[in-house]
Structure 1
């Protein structure tokens, strides 16, 4: 069976247990974590390869156990800590995993609740687990790129040097993205000077830099808008996005509802994100007086997000499973990209309902 199919089988298991609110840690391990490790090619029935309740004394703490230690050639390569399915990894305490990382040979630590798998290493300081994961894999919402990264942890392909090289690359990409996001929102003088040198012939004085700042911000907006629209054109086969028809219909109806340019931009971004896992034509916009809805299959019972852009504070409500909503304030339209994972997750859940 191909690696992609093995992971898909584990994802099906996840769907079977999503409705269970009583799924504790042991049940999470049995129903999801062990099948996941097996899909990576490890023999979960061989304690010399996947050692459950692995003990490694830490200082004065004796007899503590990490849930699993994965061995390759008699060497611990990965340690795994599992949390109950209902646990949010964002809020989870994993000090035990942190301690074990420092006293074992393992250079990869895996934290999971059965739905999400967070991979850590020690890029920031040797033998000290980084505070942030370098790779996150969401079992219910992944794409081919995620699968390619995940396969690097498979038994037949595992190379600690390759994994650490990938971890460093992902870390620097994340930092670069963070820096560029900050410059998009409020470009620093030095950044404006750097960009300005490419098109401004005069002396870049403080007054000139201040005058050019709005142009740099607008250039970011135009670039993102252009790339999103290009991506949609490719995904749709150069068909006109149906949102433009919606806008015309709203204006013609005389109901006072007008889909603004900002709402369109946010819709384009959400549609482009969803295009990673579904035909983008299934993502629709439906404007109303108080907010603008982005829907799956143009079905009001399958909401993805609501855009509240008419007030002084712009914010987006992103829907989750069981129709829960999370409000996220945004400063710029491209902040929508920051909750890409949430959009992928809810769209993926609607796909699985079909």
Structure 2
């Protein structure tokens, strides 16, 4: 909240404000003189507001004295012509004057009428308040507020979601996420993985062409699996993990989504995340691919035999604590005897 200085406009300035709002004035320079807001200079319009702007404003700016500028635009609102309000406070002006003008700024707006002011501009050098600086200021003010990192991710998800119209009569697919096409090479290798001809397939998303492509396919062993995971890009991996569990030999296809944290662009991370569900569903339904487990990692070193076994066969805690019957309340007195219903004494 700004502090008011008690400085007000002179009677002559208030009367001039009333006439100027009719359109006969383009430029007004107002200064604080003898502790009052005083009209120092004014100019009628010559051309359009953009053509008049630099010619009228820049020559009237003092390098060592603050001032206020009211500049009439050519647009109108329901009150009349709209104005730009400029507070000029050069770096080399005395600190006391800077503070005085800053504290009186709200008063001048009130005296003139805040409803007439379309834009406000503050400047310490001419580059701030020249026509180009004014236009840059307006563009910045009217631009959407910058998003936080979380908001940026949510916005990207929203843009990439499948648009679905849902009502009482619709039967459209309501699954959210992207459905990028899969290249023929990638599909062929996934089929070979399903049939046991290869043990490892790595896929990537071609972001520019919005397509899922094959990166690598071979018979990788578990001890080499970690080295296949890139540290600078997200990837989809399929690995046929052959192992024994409780004496039985098993062959389990594991889907691995690797994303190296925040080392990759937001768009890449979000595309991989958004595509994953639809991509896996199509493989499971169309290729009858049996995926035993789906995991997400940030680096290849996580892919150890112990990690995969724990994911596929979580250890069960078979030790169960015996139920402990709670003790009854203390000092409850002797236990009462209940007479059987067929006691002969009642007959």
Give the TM-score of the pair, scaled to structure 1: 0.22
Structure with the greater alpha carbon radius of gyration = 2
Relative to total residues, which structure has the larger strand share, 1 or 2? Answer: 2
Give the TM-score of the pair, scaled to structure 2: 0.23
Relative to total residues, which structure has the larger helix share, 1 or 2? Answer: 1
